[in-house]
Structure 1
Amino acid sequence: MPMSFCHYYDFEIETIVKFIREIKAKKILLQLPEGLQICASEIIQLLRNTFGDLEVILSQNPSFGSCLVDEYGAIESGADAIIHIGHIEYKYYKPKMPTLFIRGAYRGIDKDKITMLLSQVCKEQQNKVTICIGTTAQHMVEIDSFVKELRNCRIVYKGIILGCMPINPSNCDNTIIIAGGKFHCVTQALYNLSLGKHISTLCIDPYTNDLWNPEKDAEKILHVRLWKVREAFEARKWLIINGFYGQHRPYLINALIERLRSLGKEYVVTKALRITRDLLDNIGAESFDVIVITACPHVAFELDDYIKPVITAGEAMMALRRDLSRYIYPW
Structure 2
Amino acid sequence: MERSLALNDYEIEFSKILEWLKKNSAKKILVQAPDGLKKISRLISEKLEEEGYEAYLSGSHAWGGCDIAVNEARTMGIDTILHVGHHGFVGARTTEVRVLFVPVHYQGEFTDALVNALEDIKRNSFKKITLGVTVELHRRLHEIENLALKSGFHVETGSLENITGLIIGCNYASLRDAEAVLIVAGGRFHAIGAALWMGIPVWRVDPYLKSYEKVDVRPIISRRLRDISSAMDAHSFLVVVSTKTGQARPVLAQSIKKRLLRENRKADIVVIDEISKDVLLNFGHYDAYVNTACPRLTIDDPDIFPGPVINPGELKYVLGKKLEGYDSRDLFRFDFSTGA
Please indicate, yes or no, whether the TM-score normalized by the shorter chain is above 0.5: yes
Contact 1:277 1:303 in 2 (8 A): no
**1:178-212 deviations in whole A, cap 9, x for unaligned?**
1111111112112233xxxxx21111111122220
1:261 aligns with 261
1:107 aligns with 107
Contact 2:157 2:174 in 1 (8 A): no
Contact 1:236 1:266 in 2 (8 A): yes
2:272 aligns with 272
Letter in 2 for 1:242: V
1:56 aligns with 55
Q: Paired residue for 2:190, among 184, 188, 197?
A: 184
Q: 1:304 to 1:222 in 2, by over 3 A?
A: farther
Residue 305 (structure 1) shift = 7.1
Moved more, 145-154 or 29-38: 145-154
Contact 1:62 1:274 in 2 (8 A): no
1:154 aligns with 154
Q: 2:176 matched to 1:175?
A: no
Residue 48 (structure 1) shift = 1.6
Q: Give me the whole-angstrom Cα distance separating, in 2, the residues matched to 1:289 and 1:164.
A: 26
Q: Give me the whole-angstrom Cα distance separating, in 1, the residues matched to 2:59 and 2:319.
A: 37
Q: Give me the whole-angstrom Cα distance separating, in 2, the residues matched to 1:5 and 1:208.
A: 19
Residue 77 (structure 1) shift = 1.5
Moved more, 162-171 or 38-47: 162-171
Query: Which secondary structure state, in structure 2, belongs to the residue aligned with residue 221 of structure 1?
Result: helix
2:127 aligns with 129
Q: Give me the whole-angstrom Cα distance separating, in 1, the residues matched to 2:118 and 2:237.
A: 49
Query: Which secondary structure state, in structure 2, belongs to the residue aligned with residue 189 of structure 1?
Result: helix
Contact 2:182 2:203 in 1 (8 A): yes
Contact 2:114 2:212 in 1 (8 A): no
Q: 2:134 matched to 1:139?
A: no
Contact 1:92 1:246 in 2 (8 A): yes
Contact 1:66 1:88 in 2 (8 A): yes
1:36 aligns with 37
Query: Which secondary structure state, in structure 2, belongs to the residue aligned with residue 160 of structure 1?
Result: coil
The residue correspondences of 1:43-82 to structure 2 (distance < 5 A) are 43-51=44-52, 54-82=53-81
Letter in 1 for 2:24: I
Q: Give me the whole-angstrom Cα distance separating, in 1, the residues matched to 2:197 and 2:114.
A: 25
Q: 1:115 to 1:300 in 2, by over 3 A?
A: closer
Moved more, 257-266 or 19-28: 257-266
**1:202-235 deviations in whole A, cap 9, x for unaligned?**
11111122220112xx101110111011111121
Q: Give me the whole-angstrom Cα distance separating, in 2, the residues matched to 1:57 and 1:171.
A: 44
Contact 1:186 1:214 in 2 (8 A): yes
1:196 aligns with none
Q: 1:229 to 1:81 in 2, by over 3 A?
A: same
Stretches of structure 1 lacking an aligned partner (at least 5 in a row): 194-198
Contact 2:82 2:101 in 1 (8 A): yes
Letter in 1 for 2:12: F
1:320 aligns with 319
Contact 1:11 1:85 in 2 (8 A): no
Contact 2:290 2:310 in 1 (8 A): yes
TM-score by length of 2: 0.84
Residue 122 (structure 1) shift = 6.2
Residue 168 (structure 1) shift = 5.4
Contact 1:13 1:47 in 2 (8 A): no
Residue 259 (structure 1) shift = 2.2
Stretches of structure 2 lacking an aligned partner (at least 5 in a row): 159-164, 334-340
Letter in 1 for 2:132: G
Letter in 1 for 2:297: V
Q: 1:41 to 1:303 in 2, by over 3 A?
A: same
Q: 1:169 to 1:13 in 2, by over 3 A?
A: closer
Number of residue pairs the alignment of both structures matches: 315
Q: Give me the whole-angstrom Cα distance separating, in 2, the residues matched to 1:59 and 1:29.
A: 6
